[in-house]
A = this chain, B = another copy of it.
Amino acid sequence: MIKGDIYVDVAIIGGTGYGAAELIRLLHHHPHANVKKIISQSNSGVKMDEVYPHLDNIVEVEMEDFNAESIAKEVDVVFFATPSNVSKHRIPELIDLGVKVIDLSGDFRLNSRELYKQYYGEDMAADNYVNQAVYGLSEIYRKEISEASLIANPGCYPTSVTLGLMPLIDHKWIKNETLIIDAKTGVSGAGRSLSLNVHYSEMNENLKAYGIGKHKHIPEIEQTLTERLNDDVQVIFTPHIVPMTRGILSTMYIDLKDSKTTDEMIELYKQYYKDAPFVRIRKEGVMPATKEVYGSNYCDIGLYMDERTNKLIVVSVIDNLVKGAAGQAVQNMNIMFGFDDMAGLRQLPTYP
């Protein structure tokens, strides 16, 4: 295991997307990591700062074609920040060559071949690879992550949702197995690919629900909660898109078995996350806002017990590109290589 002053060499696959740009931003600070290769099929040969001028004079590395052997020879860990159904074709070879992989896409998150087919439209990777993948919800699966070679980094919505629900799941306080999740995301979650939906003039000063009943993150959330509760969990999951670049806010409505006060719930959550430096529980009467985690790896949670109806309202916020993607990926790398969880992730939220 690599520790102390030793560096890990990193490759990033999918160099032109926002996931890659964010990985580069976070790893730039990292005391033990060094971005050695950036791979892009569509922009092989192009310098990074031509695609992202904010990297001018800072990251001028030339993007390369994917070549598993040269990657395996030169780097210790590979991040995939690719669209769906790409990494499944590349990762097996890398794993066979003994490289550790953290996959920010959804290709290795699901266990069910049927659900993968239904939601991702293609066949899943071969079982022996899928079975090696550990779901990288850092706060929950620390031990498994530390021993894994392949991390399926969670989706942005599932991260905000499952961190917001885990204390209830693990304490089995949930009464009704149908949970209502009303989630709202900033626009960067849609990536850098052009689409009328996120054309500026269409999306500015606009708010809409989308993908109800069809979103890829539904089976992912249900799988995690079901496994953990060891009982079926169903979610009604309604994503909305909000006119801002970054941030996810998930509002969750849960029927509790027993009558509790807001204060008791806050205590439970604080206790549950007492060793998790990136999860912050707000005090009674205060709800978190997305701007309070902007650009950082924090997940902030607010709680309200509606005592009239014995329903708990959980509000969970993250920066979708950090804790919801690249930040959690770096946190997982830290866990895999035995670094401090916060290495490279100490930056405060940018406010205002």
Contact = CB atoms under 8 A, between A and B. Distances in A.
Residues of A contacting B: mostly: mixed
A291 B202 contact: yes
A280 B242 contact: no
A299 to B, nearest CB: 12
Interface in A204-237: 204-210, 212-213, 234, 236
A53 interface: yes
Interface stretch (A112-120, A127-135, A144-152, A303-311): A303-311
A282 B49 CA distance: 11
A348 B290 CA distance: 21
A305 to B, nearest CB: 9
Contact of A315 (B192, B209, B350): B209
Given A236-B313, A352-B18, A209 B302 contact: yes
A213 B246 contact: no
A212 B236 CA distance: 21
A176 to B, nearest CB: 10
Interface residues of A, number: 83
B213 A304 contact: yes
Interface string A4-48: 000000000000001001001100110000000000000000000
6 contacts: A178-B311, A182-B238, A182-B253, A205-B291, A208-B287, A236-B306
A69 to B, nearest CB: 30
A1 interface: no
Contacts of A308: 234
A245 B352 CA distance: 7
Contacts of A304: 212-213
A198 B199 contact: yes
Nearest to A195: B194
- Give 5 closest A-B pairs by Cβ, nearest first: A208-B289, A206-B291, A182-B182, A54-B292, A194-B194
B201 A292 contact: no
A259 to B, nearest CB: 15
Nearest to A184: B207
Nearest to A191: B201
Interface stretch (A55-63, A78-86, A102-110, A166-174): A55-63
Interface string A238-253: 1010111111010101
Contacts of A186: 205, 207
Contacts of A212: 287, 304, 313
A243 B244 contact: yes
